């Protein structure tokens, strides 16, 4: 029994010895610390789109009378593109205008009925009512004696209304009268006409004391054309145009009044109702005119943006808004002042993306060329699919020569970069920012008191910018140091001494 036990023990000892001898020797991958450029970036792909696009449609139906462009043309915002037959709507608009004019006249008459006013300038000669009196339509309110001043309309050629102003001095010349009369401009324009020769005339009304026959007038640098008649004022009796009570009357015989001056107010339910109804009718008529005008505008199709016509679906002679053009699409316009694309960035990386970051754009269609873009928008609304959330990032490309909407492109968002910096493979940095280097490396003099494999020492480092392969070393190493790390051959994945990759 003892012999068996000894032999058994020996057998066990020999097995452990063989196992130890069979353990493979550790092999390190080495690299030299050297200067290089490092770029930390995110990679994605997308499809180029125009800065803006618009499908021009129509809200109306009818025959296209004209179009002003061809496919491929550049059109300006608000440029007329199509004109569609609007004869039916034009008639409606004309009728609405007529109704509006009538409603406006009715409202003005209703207001005048409530507020009687002087129809001439002159002097109050008689007052037939007092405040508080109730009057019926047609009742006399007061009489006005006309002014003895002249009211003369002169016509001026080669002049505009803006060349004259109310109150401007005027010189009036009289047949058989030496010299001239001084007058004053009382009214300008409102009745521009053409004389027998087709010459446009501007009318100016001048007031002055009546001296006799008038031949011509000069105002500023202008002299009137031909002779004119003298208008002599007559008396006027003001009557009530509505029933109600007289209020606000302050005029007495002998007082002067001017044409259009408010004389008193007639109050009462009847006159107030008349004004309200007339006002409502005027508002409704105005709405009808605006509606008809807006409908007319719909028959003139303009460009909503400045851009290039990429598709023209309708031309002169076609009918739109019918079964043959049920989509009502007329043309498609692209704003190609710049191109843009959308990248979907993973939620783990989105915090590293910001507006203004540079984006490098490449396309298989433009091999060998790199275009520069910029991040213009980082969405706060993500899209979740399959348990992963991504966020849309908009990239704008201004220099687009050779690029077209619809092209597939690759994009690289540069997060950080450094040129000519000391770098080593990223997998060579261990947890705690230590690096294994050969004992003969220049930086071995700064070795840590940490157990290391024979022929190697650990040193403390400070890191900077990194990419998928390399990491910047800002302190702890120098150019020429040899770093060592383990590489897992079975899977091709990288491993590091002392723990996980930083």
pLDDT tens per residue, range 54-90: 999 988 888 999 999 999 999 999 999 999 988 877 7
How does DSSP classify residue 197?
Answer: T
Q: What is the DSSP string of 55-123?
A: EEE-SS-EEEEEE---TT-EE-TT-EEEEE--HHHHHHHHHHHHHHHHHHHHHHHHHHHHS-B-SS-EE
- Give 336-356 pLDDT, tens digit per residue: 999 999 999 999 999 999 999
In this prediction, residue 490 carries a pLDDT of: 36
The span from the CA of 174 to the CA of 408, in Å, is 88
Q: Which whole number is the average pLDDT over 310-315?
A: 94
Percent of the chain with pLDDT over 70: 84
Contact 320, 84 (CB under 8 A): yes
H/E stretch holding 174 reads strand 169-174
SS3 124: strand
Terminus-to-terminus CA distance in the chain, angstroms? Answer: 58
The CA distances from residue 469 to 164, 306, 465, in Å, are 85, 47, 11
Cα–Cα nearest to 279, from 419, 97, 106, 35: 106
What pLDDT digit, counting tens, does each position of 463-492 carry?
999 988 999 999 999 999 999 999 754 333
Q: What is the mean pLDDT of the chain?
A: 84
- Average pLDDT of the residues in 8-32: 55
For the chain, how many residues are written?
A: 502
The helix/strand/coil state of 401 is coil
| Structure token digits, residue 484 | 């060592």
Picking from 79-88, 226-235, 457-466, which range would have the lowest pLDDT averaged per residue? 226-235
Q: Is residue 214 scored above 60 in pLDDT? A: no
Q: What is the pLDDT of residue 372?
A: 95
244 pLDDT tier (thresholds 50, 70, 90): very high
Q: What is the reported pLDDT for 393?
A: 95
> Do 338 and 49 contact (CB within 8 A), yes or no?
no
Q: When comparing pLDDT for 178 and 458, which is higher? A: 458
More confident residue, 225 or 329: 329
Give buried/exposed letters for 449-477 (b at 16+ CB in 10 A, else e). Answer: eeebeeebbbbebebbbbbeebbbbeebb
Residue 5 reports pLDDT greater than 60: no
């Amino acid at each position: 029994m003892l012999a068996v036990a000894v032999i058994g023990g020996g057998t066990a000892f020999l097995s452990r010895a063989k196992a130890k001898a069979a353990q493979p020797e550790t092999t390190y991958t080495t690299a030299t610390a050297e200067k290089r450029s490092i770029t930390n970036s995110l990679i994605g792909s997308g499809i180029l789109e125009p800065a803006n696009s618009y499908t021009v449609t129509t809200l109306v139906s009818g025959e296209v009378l004209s179009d002003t462009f061809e496919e491929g043309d550049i059109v300006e915002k608000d440029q007329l593109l199509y004109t569609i037959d609007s004869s039916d709507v034009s008639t409606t608009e004309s009728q609405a205008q007529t109704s509006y004019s009538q409603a406006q006249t009715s409202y003005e008459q209703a207001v005048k009925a409530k507020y009687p006013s002087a129809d001439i300038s002159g002097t109050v000669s008689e007052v037939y009512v007092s405040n508080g009196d109730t009057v019926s339509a047609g009742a006399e309110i007061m009489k006005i004696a006309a002014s003895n001043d002249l009211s003369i309309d002169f016509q001026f050629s080669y002049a505009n209304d803006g060349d004259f102003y109310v109150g401007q001095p005027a010189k009036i010349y009289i047949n058989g009268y030496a010299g001239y009369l001084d007058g004053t401009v009382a009214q300008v324009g409102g009745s521009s006409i053409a004389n027998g020769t087709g010459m446009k005339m501007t009318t100016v009304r001048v007031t002055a004391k009546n001296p006799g026959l008038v031949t011509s007038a000069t105002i500023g640098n202008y002299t009137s054309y031909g002779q004119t008649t003298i208008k002599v004022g007559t008396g006027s009796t003001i009557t009530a145009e509505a029933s109600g009570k007289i209020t606000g009357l302050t005029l007495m015989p002998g007082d002067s009044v001017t044409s259009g001056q408010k004389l008193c107010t007639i109050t009462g339910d009847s006159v107030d109702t008349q004004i309200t109804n007339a006002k409502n009718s005027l508002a409704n008529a105005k709405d009808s005119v605006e509606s008809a005008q807006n409908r007319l505008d719909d028959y003139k199709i303009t460009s909503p943006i400045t851009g290039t016509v990429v598709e023209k679906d309708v031309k002169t002679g076609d009918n739109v808004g019918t079964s043959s053009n049920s989509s009502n699409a007329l043309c498609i316009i692209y704003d190609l002042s710049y191109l843009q694309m959308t990248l979907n960035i993973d939620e783990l990386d989105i915090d590293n993306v910001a507006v203004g970051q540079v984006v490098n754009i490449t396309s298989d269609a433009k091999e060998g060329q790199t275009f520069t873009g910029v991040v213009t928008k980082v969405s706060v609304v993500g899209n979740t699919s399959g348990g992963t959330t991504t966020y849309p990032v908009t990239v704008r490309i201004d220099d687009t020569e050779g690029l077209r909407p619809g092209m597939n492109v690759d994009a690289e968002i540069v997060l950080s970069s450094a040129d000519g910096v000391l770098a080593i493979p990223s997998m060579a940095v261990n947890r705690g920012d230590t690096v294994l280097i050969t004992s003969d490396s220049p930086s071995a003099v700064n070795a840590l008191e940490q157990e290391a494999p024979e022929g190697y020492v650990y040193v403390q480092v400070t890191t900077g910018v990194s990419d998928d392969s390399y990491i910047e070393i800002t302190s702890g190493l120098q150019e020429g140091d040899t770093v060592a790390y383990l590489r897992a051959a079975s899977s091709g994945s990288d491993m590091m001494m002392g723990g996980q990759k930083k």
